[in-house]
Structure 1
């Protein structure tokens, strides 16, 4: 049975895209026509010559002939320009200019040539609008000129920027509205009216300039930043669906480069390698990730818990974090409650339908066999006999009686056709006669879900934030076990002990499960993709009794899985003391436990003979079990103090000094055993083969770092 894939109608999309391009070109041409009442006919229209043969053809069919013979493109609106009039017209070696005059002579259609574009319009629809040259100056609150301010006619691309003196000139109409904007200032909309000059004053956007940006062990206002820092807010993640944070960061900030880094593509829960400003060395390198002041894995976070992401791109990153940050730093701040905030509870649920991207189109088995036989004419012979091709034709017609009668040794009780019996087994090569689209067989769709709930609020002394999130991301493969699941919880409490002393506690928990087919010794995703693109369309999905053929490799996909279970658990304590104005003393402590369990089960692959008897395929012998247990315990503390001051309200300074202590203990143990008695209960006591055990010794890392 062949499944139908509900894909996207790409020819229709291409047609709609071409129509959209034409409409956009029409609008752009109209804007140019409004700004100038002088219409010029391109010289090419008088030199380009065409041959037209039209016997009761529509105008549209005639202009199609012109487009095929020249570089001209006709732009028009189907709803306003009627090109269905029929005309009889013959011309040989005639200029396009003369052809257009002839076919539009008795019609209410006019044309305008702009380069290689010919704009068609209904007579009387050209808007006539007087324009004028408007002059103006843009200043700030103190009367100083604003250099480089954007001045644009609202809703158009007609605009300019102010010069060194804040002046600008722009051709506008009385009905236009100017949109004036500049970084750090509030935008203004100003109607032109009958004015010939404008004196525009912009107000500083204090909200933007005072926005606090996380930079290393402290924060700074945007207005005081001197390094290359990009800030990504939670608004940039809104309404974007992805299973991991690294996927969501794509396109969120300039200078980010992403790649999958494996041959598995966008598998469920796929993580992406990130680099900032390109490759930093021959060996590559990734940015240093800091979450709420401590190193971590951004893909273990729930995107709904992220408040902002700061990206440090230049040498300032190494100045703060030293040798750990030669490739930049990604600073992630999670959400928290606010004081004097009412209790708020929010829930978000998403139902996500995933489908495969545009899949290749495969040849049907008849066309494929004929093409290969034609190629064989130049290579020494036909790979497919006439009998096989006759069975291919009969299979596509559904003439199974012919197929049964043409195979003398067809097995009794076999009712499914496509496979060819060969001795005691089913043929695995050129004798089969099915018609299989392997892309359609393998890929379908999946329904996934994502749920998030949060509670936050605060009083004048206490603020709190609690959240939980669940993600279920399944593959679009139709076979095998292939999914990613993640559970996140986050809790934050901040208490103002006094006006100058704050204490905070944060707990963060993440559990991830990734299970995928291991395909035994045949390979992984890369093997599967290679097989789909190379497998014959005559190869059947089933044998005569409805069992999956080994050559379909579906038995391999469904035989065993690799399962990885990760738990990341953090407890963070924070304290801030403010003895004097501008002086802060901070002490942070974090304890992290990371557990990882890996269980790889390779089961027997069973193949069936022509008597419907199963046997173990040699590639899967022996079945086996591998388990690995890894645990990491890590603690770190930061103690630092900073003093902020300014001189004459113009020069801002921050002095920071501190130290950091770290310790990490890591260990793992791994076991491997063959010959599972029962594959339904994979365990070491349930296996009779030899056991292989390995263990890593305890590793202790200590580091003391001073920062000034």
Structure 2
């Protein structure tokens, strides 16, 4: 009898599972954890709430998200999944800020997303708008610039609602008054509510057409001992991705010659073979000594034959720091919070940094059993260097590797005698303007609130805001230097062509609100609420700017020393 033994191998079937995760309002949830139970396979949903994951047959997918109930779904095919997450019962009892009042989440009929201070405190970002990234479904947060002071994010709620690019941002309400969220100290924020649909934002009329973001700042606690809190954040900023441009100057010269030949084969090459060979030889011996044949000037090869990687220079890692000191507490009939904040970001380039100082005072006092008064007041002062980091990519495309950025306080020019003199040194360009741009902002709200009857509350408030912008800029004489020759290659601006600019802008506004709210519950299951309100708004903007051409001295760049009035505007 002959037996034949054959090994059998069972191959487990796998599926590529795709799907979308939304909330009950069918809005995409960003960053939901999707994992195969009992394995290390997992992923997160993207900005559209979509996910893709390879899993074995009959796997159980676990969907988890902060504030929502965890769900488990068994996978038996590659059919796309549409998962609707439900909020936890505890969160439904939370009170969220809505237009001119508060409501429990369970009673909301509109689409409102709430972000509390715990989610914000775990993030390191230069401003509040950037911190909102990925924290609310249906809200797209995109930072368009890394220039310190101009690095606030563009926020879009449920996409773009208009073709006019000037009116795509949501309405920002801070403690009941329209304001700028990026002027706030993020450590002072208690919660952020996002009103996303017409039902929830309708009370603000046409101003809320693109959604409304309500920011509520922190208060002290009654019957609490003084609590002193310090928060210090030191962060390192690096470019996540940069263009990998050619910086080997010998390669650049060869490529340039090839491009010229392809356009006109009869034209002579701009860079000769001898110069290209000299550049390659110097690269292999960067510390060798170059001696200029005309004047005998001696410098290392890395100065005479530079190969500058401008991506590394213009996007060098930088450090920023932020410090917040606050004290809060309260007695039987009052509470208080006072805070100070300092933020400094030097920028990836010289002359592009900012420093900002914030101070806040929130006070509230119960005058009688039915009446309380309070104030929410903050001030901000920011100083910004005038260098324009937003043009950094333009600068980079106008330069070549054969330039020394800066050495011994001198800005390099093109070292090759065949290079065009209009090739730019970005480091010199960004430092060619001196001065400071200073912004001072004061925002104060005073209010009184009375409970006339159980559930019937009246509130009167007045908000005053003042913004003052002061810009002082002037030309700086920065020569372009040839390190080979040891001489000035391209002189900087002259006194006759130098300019000095002075600009002022003042914005002033006030908002007065009167509201009457009534809330009651019938038979423990039926909530009734009504609101009557009046709002008055005033805004005024004025300013002047002037520029003079021709200075008496670079050491005295004040506009009063300018010779000719080049421009004046009001």
Give 1:288's aligned residue.
Answer: 171
Q: 1:435 to 1:206 in 2, by over 3 A?
A: closer
Using the alignment, how far apart are the partners of 1:532 and 1:178 within structure 2? 48
1:563 is aligned, of 395, 415, 436, to: 436
1:106-255 counterparts in 2 under 5 A?
113-114=11-12, 207-255=90-138
Give 2:307's aligned residue.
Answer: 435
Give 1:635's aligned residue.
Answer: 510
Give 2:248's aligned residue.
Answer: 364
Q: 1:450 to 1:614 in 2, by over 3 A?
A: same
1:338 is aligned, of 205, 213, 221, to: 221
Shift of 1:484: 1.9
Shift of 1:582: 0.8
> How large is the Cα RMSD of the aligned pairs?
3.9
Using the alignment, how far apart are the partners of 2:94 and 2:114 within structure 1? 10
Q: 1:394 to 1:546 in 2, by over 3 A?
A: farther
Give 2:321's aligned residue.
Answer: 449
Is the partner of 1:578 in helix, strand or coil? strand
Give 1:606's aligned residue.
Answer: 479
Using the alignment, how far apart are the partners of 1:545 and 1:636 within structure 2? 51
2:274 is aligned, of 382, 387, 393, to: 387
Contact 1:394 1:402 survives alignment (8 Å): no
Contact 2:133 2:141 survives alignment (8 Å): yes
Shift of 1:598: 1.7
Q: 1:549 to 1:650 in 2, by over 3 A?
A: same
Q: 1:343 to 1:400 in 2, by over 3 A?
A: closer
1:502 and 2:372 aligned: yes
Give 1:270's aligned residue.
Answer: 151
Q: 1:690 to 1:188 in 2, by over 3 A?
A: closer
Q: 1:534 to 1:663 in 2, by over 3 A?
A: closer
1:351-500 counterparts in 2 under 5 A?
351-361=234-244, 362=246, 364-373=248-257, 378-379=262-263, 380=265, 382-398=269-285, 404=291, 408=293, 410-417=294-301, 433-477=305-349, 480-500=350-370
Shift of 1:504: 1.0
Shift of 1:417: 4.7
1:73-88 counterparts in 2 under 5 A?
none
Using the alignment, how far apart are the partners of 1:646 and 1:447 within structure 2? 54
Using the alignment, how far apart are the partners of 1:374 and 1:573 within structure 2? 71
Using the alignment, how far apart are the partners of 1:185 and 1:260 within structure 2? 28
Shift of 1:111: 8.0
Q: 1:179 to 1:352 in 2, by over 3 A?
A: closer
Shift of 1:491: 0.8
Is the partner of 1:342 in helix, strand or coil? strand
1:665 and 2:543 aligned: no
Is the partner of 1:685 in helix, strand or coil? helix
Is the partner of 2:443 in helix, strand or coil? strand
Using the alignment, how far apart are the partners of 1:321 and 1:545 within structure 2? 55
Q: 1:372 to 1:559 in 2, by over 3 A?
A: closer
Using the alignment, how far apart are the partners of 2:368 and 2:289 within structure 1? 92
Using the alignment, how far apart are the partners of 1:179 and 1:329 within structure 2? 33
Contact 1:624 1:675 survives alignment (8 Å): yes
Shift of 1:266: 5.1
1:685 and 2:549 aligned: no
Give 1:65's aligned residue.
Answer: none
Structure 1, 317-326 or 607-616: larger mean CA deviation: 607-616
Identify unmatched segments of 5+ residues in structure 1: 1-97, 102-109, 118-151, 159-176, 190-203, 421-432, 519-523, 696-708
Give 2:386's aligned residue.
Answer: 516
Contact 1:437 1:537 survives alignment (8 Å): yes
Give 2:394's aligned residue.
Answer: 530
Shift of 1:621: 6.2
1:653 and 2:537 aligned: no
Is the partner of 2:530 in helix, strand or coil? strand
Q: 1:399 to 1:229 in 2, by over 3 A?
A: closer
Using the alignment, how far apart are the partners of 2:251 and 2:559 within structure 1? 51
Using the alignment, how far apart are the partners of 2:376 and 2:287 within structure 1? 69
Q: Deviations over 1:561-618 (max 9, x none)?
A: 4632111112211111111111011111122221111222223342357572576446
Contact 1:415 1:545 survives alignment (8 Å): no
Using the alignment, how far apart are the partners of 2:315 and 2:460 within structure 1? 53
Using the alignment, how far apart are the partners of 1:458 and 1:440 within structure 2? 52
1:350 and 2:225 aligned: no
TM-score between both structures, scaled by the size of structure 1:
0.63
Higher-Rg member (1/2) = 1
Using the alignment, how far apart are the partners of 2:106 and 2:564 within structure 1? 68
Count residues with an aligned counterpart: 502
2:460 is aligned, of 559, 565, 587, to: 587
Q: Deviations over 1:141-192 (max 9, x none)?
A: xxxxxxxxxxx9976699xxxxxxxxxxxxxxxxxx9999999999899xxx
Is the partner of 1:636 in helix, strand or coil? strand
Shift of 1:245: 1.0
Contact 1:213 1:220 survives alignment (8 Å): yes
Contact 2:110 2:200 survives alignment (8 Å): no
Q: 1:556 to 1:378 in 2, by over 3 A?
A: closer
Q: 1:369 to 1:665 in 2, by over 3 A?
A: closer
Using the alignment, how far apart are the partners of 2:358 and 2:447 within structure 1? 21
Shift of 1:536: 2.7
TM-score between both structures, scaled by the size of structure 2:
0.78
Using the alignment, how far apart are the partners of 2:492 and 2:69 within structure 1? 72
Using the alignment, how far apart are the partners of 1:556 and 1:346 within structure 2? 43
Contact 1:268 1:482 survives alignment (8 Å): no
